[in-house]
A and B are shown apart, each in its own frame.
Chain A
Amino acid sequence: MNIFRFLGDISHLSAIIILLLKIWKSRSCAGISGKSQLLFAIVFTTRYLDLFTNFISFYNTSMKVVYVASSYATVWMIYSKFKATYDGNHDTFRVEFLIVPTAILSFLVNHDFTPLEILWTFSIYLESVAILPQLFMVSKTGEAETITSHYLFALGIYRTLYLFNWIWRYQFEEFFDLIAIVAGLVQTVLYCDFFYLYITKVLKGKKLSLPA
C-alpha cells in the first residue's frame, strides 16, 4: 500500500458516500444517471467475485463489501425507492455500446484466459467508460448540482491517484499491470473536460454549467 493508492481509495469511498447521502438526504436522484450506477454495480460485482475465496487483508475485504453494498443501495434508490425523481428522459446513453465492446475486448486482451480473470478484465475495461452516461446526462441537462460535481470530482480523482500509485509500484515494486494502467488512463482522460470545468467554475463558487 502507498499513499497514492490509499488517497485514491479514500477519494473513491468519499464519492460513493457523497452520492448515497445526496440521494438519501434530498430524497431525490435528479441529475444522477441510473445507467452509470448500474454499470458501477456490474463493475464491482464482476471484479470482486474472489471476495470470499481470496483473502488479502481486512482493509481489502471490508472496502470491497462497502463498495458492492453501496453500489447496489444506490441502484435500488434510483430505480425503486426514489424512482419518481429519476430523470429518465435525460439518461439516454446507450449502455450496450459500452458493455458489448468491453466484454469482447476482455476476451481478446487479458492476462489469463480463465473465467475469473476475464471477468476481472471486463470490470476494468467497463469501469473506464462507466461514467460516460453520467457525463452525457450532465451535458444534456447543461448543468449539474454542486454536490453532484463534487461526487464526480472525487470519482475522477480516485483513478488519477491510482495512476500515480502504478508509477510508484513500477518504481519501487517492479510491478505493473498494463491492462489496469491503460484503462485507468482512458478513464482519467474522460474526466479532463469535467476537471477543467470543476476547477474553473465550481471552485469559484459558480454552478457547474456546460455550454448546452
Chain B
Amino acid sequence: EMEAYSKDEL
C-alpha cells in the first residue's frame, strides 16, 4: 500500500 496523500487535485 502506497502512502495516502492529500487529495488537493480535482
Contact = CB atoms under 8 A, between A and B. Distances in A.
A63 B5 contact: no
Interface of B: 1-10
Contact of A112 (B4, B6, B8, B9): B4
21 contacts: A5-B9, A9-B10, A54-B7, A60-B8, A63-B10, A64-B10, A67-B10, A110-B1, A111-B3, A111-B4, A112-B1, A112-B4, A113-B1, A117-B4, A120-B7, A162-B9, A175-B5, A177-B2, A177-B5, A179-B2, A180-B9
A177 B10 CA distance: 13
A67 B9 CA distance: 13
Nearest to A176: B5
Interface of A: 5, 9, 12, 50, 54, 56, 60, 63-64, 67, 110-113, 117, 120, 162, 165, 175, 177-180
Tell me the dominant secondary structure on chain A's binding face. helix
Contacts of B6: 56
Contact of B10 (A12, A50, A113): A12
Contacts of B1: 110-113
